[in-house]
C-alpha cells in the first residue's frame, strides 16, 4: 500500500487507523476527519470499494450538530464520491436523526471498543468515596462536586487548553483537599480506580466519555447526571445512579454507592453484556464492507492509542511544558 506522507503522519499520530487494507477501511473521529478531509479524500480515491468510518466525539442528535455533520460528509463526498462513509453513533437516537439527513449510520458506541483486558477490578483499600476521571475543563462540570467530598475524592486528569487555565485554577482551589493526579500511564488506571467506591460522570453534553465505561470495567458503579452524547447507552441501570445536576444530587448519589457497595465483578459483567450488541453491529458492518470476518477490533479501534511507552513520554513532555507556564496547577 502506497501511503502518502500526509496520511502517514495521521496514522502515526493515531488520528486515523486502517481497519482493513483490501478493501481499504479507515476509521477516524469526526474532528480529525473534518481537519484532514482533503488528504483523506485524495488517499481513498485511489482504492476501489474504500470506506471511511466515523466515530463521534460529541453529540450529533441535535438539529444543529447533525446538520454540521451532514455538511462535513457532503464536502468529503465531493472529493471522493465513490467512498462509502458510515457513522458509528454513540446515542440510540442518533442513527435515525442522521438517516433523515441522508447519512449511513449504525449504533456502535465508541466505549464498546475499550479492550476489557486492560481494565479489571483490583483488591484495594477504598481510600476514596468517589473518583472523577476527566480532563480539567469546564465541560466536565467539576463545580457539581461538593467541597465536602474533596478529602475523599480522587481527580484523574489534566488541563488541556491554555485558555482554560483560570477556570482550572479556580476548580482546583475549590477542591484543594482532593487527591489530584494529572498524568499517569494507562496501566495504572485499574489500580487507581479500584481505590474508589464509585465514579462520577457530570458533563451535560459531550461524546460518550470513555471514563464512564472505564469505571464500570474496573467494577465501580457510577453517579451520572443527565447528558447528551450517548454515554448512557452502555449503562447497566442497576449500577448507575441518575443524580440531579446539583452538588446535593451528586452527594446523594455518592452516599448511595458508599452504602450499597455492589460486587465489582458483577458491575463489570453487566457492562460487558451492554457492550456486546454494539460490538456485534460493528463486526457485521465490517463483514459487509470487506466480505469476511475481521476478528476482534483493536482497543479504541486504534485511535489515539500510541504504544504505552510513547504515550507516557508524550504525556510527561506535555506536563513539563504546562508546568513551566503554570506551576500552580501541578503542586501536590
pLDDT tens track for 193-214: 999 999 999 999 999 999 999 9
Same domain, 103 and 137: no
Q: Which residues in the chain show pLDDT less than 50?
A: 307-319, 321-326, 328-332
Q: Are residues 62 and 181 in the same domain?
A: no
Q: What is the pLDDT of residue 151?
A: 97
Q: Say what the pLDDT of residue 306 is.
A: 56
- 214 and 131 co-located in one domain: yes
Query: What pLDDT, on the 0 to 100 scale, is given for residue 2?
Result: 74
Phi/psi at 98 (5° precision): -75, -35
The verdict on 163 and 267 lying in the same domain is: yes
In terms of domains, do 140 and 85 share one? no
- Structural domain ending residue among the three candidates 87, 107, 127: 107
Statement to judge: residues 150 and 231 lie in one domain: yes
The DSSP code sequence of 59-105 is ---SHHHHHHHHHHHHHHHHH-TTSEEEEEESSTTHHHHHHTTT-EE
Q: Show the domain range for 183.
A: 116-271
Edge-to-edge strand list for the sheet holding 153-156: 179-181, 153-156, 130-133, 199-201, 222-224, 240-242
Q: Same structural domain for residues 120 and 227? A: yes
**One domain, residues 265 and 122:** yes
Is the entire prediction scored with pTM above 0.95? no
Does residue 300 belong to any structural domain of this protein? no
State how many domains the chain has: 2
pLDDT at 14: 87
CATH number at residue 159: 3.40.50.2000
Q: Do 65 and 121 lie in a common domain?
A: no
In terms of Cβ atoms closer than 10 Å to its own Cβ (0-12, 13-18, 19+), residue 21 is exposed
Q: Which of 82, 107, 132 is the last residue of a domain?
A: 107
**C-alpha grid cell, residue 132:** 472523577
Q: Is residue 319 part of a domain?
A: no
Same domain assignment for residues 124 and 264: yes
Q: Cell match 470513555: residue?
A: 210
Same domain, 203 and 237: yes
Cα four-point dihedral sign 309, 312, 318, 323:
negative
Amino acid at each position: 500500500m502506497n501511503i502518502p506522507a500526509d496520511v502517514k503522519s495521521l496514522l502515526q499520530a493515531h488520528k486515523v487507523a486502517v481497519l482493513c487494507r483490501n478493501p481499504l477501511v479507515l476509521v477516524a473521529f469526526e474532528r480529525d476527519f473534518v481537519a484532514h478531509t482533503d488528504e483523506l479524500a485524495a488517499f481513498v480515491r485511489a482504492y476501489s470499494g474504500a470506506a471511511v468510518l466515523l466515530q463521534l466525539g460529541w453529540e450529533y442528535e441535535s438539529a444543529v450538530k447533525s446538520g454540521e455533520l451532514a455538511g462535513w460528509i457532503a464536502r468529503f463526498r465531493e472529493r471522493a464520491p465513490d467512498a462509502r462513509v458510515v457513522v458509528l453513533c454513540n446515542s440510540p437516537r442518533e442513527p435515525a436523526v442522521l438517516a433523515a439527513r441522508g447519512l449511513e449510520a449504525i449504533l456502535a458506541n465508541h466505549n464498546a471498543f475499550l479492550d476489557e483486558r486492560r481494565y479489571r477490578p483490583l483488591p484495594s483499600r477504598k481510600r476514596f468515596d468517589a473518583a472523577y476521571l476527566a480532563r480539567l475543563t469546564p465541560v466536565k462540570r467539576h463545580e457539581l462536586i461538593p467541597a465536602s467530598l474533596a478529602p475523599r475524592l480522587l481527580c484523574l486528569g489534566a488541563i488541556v487548553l491554555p485558555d482554560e487555565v483560570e477556570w482550572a485554577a479556580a476548580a482546583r482551589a475549590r477542591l484543594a483537599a482532593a487527591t489530584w493526579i494529572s498524568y499517569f500511564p494507562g496501566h495504572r488506571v485499574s489500580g487507581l480506580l479500584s481505590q474508589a467506591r464509585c465514579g462520577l460522570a457530570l458533563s451535560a453534553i459531550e461524546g460518550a466519555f470513555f471514563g464512564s465505561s472505564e469505571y464500570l470495567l474496573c467494577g465501580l458503579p457510577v453517579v451520572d447526571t443527565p447528558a447528551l452524547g450517548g454515554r448512557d447507552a452502555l449503562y447497566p441501570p442497576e449500577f448507575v445512579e441518575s443524580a440531579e445536576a446539583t452538588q446535593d444530587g451528586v452527594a446523594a448519589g455518592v452516599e448511595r454507592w458508599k452504602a450499597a457497595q455492589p460486587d465489582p465483578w458483577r458491575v463489570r459483567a453487566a457492562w460487558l453484556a451492554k457492550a456486546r450488541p454494539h460490538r456485534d453491529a460493528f463486526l457485521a458492518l465490517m463483514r459487509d464492507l470487506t466480505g469476511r470476518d475481521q476478528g476482534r477490533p483493536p482497543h479504541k479501534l486504534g485511535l489515539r492509542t500510541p504504544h504505552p511507552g510513547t504515550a507516557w513520554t508524550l504525556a510527561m513532555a506535555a506536563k513539563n511544558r504546562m508546568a513551566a507556564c503554570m506551576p500552580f496547577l501541578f503542586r501536590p
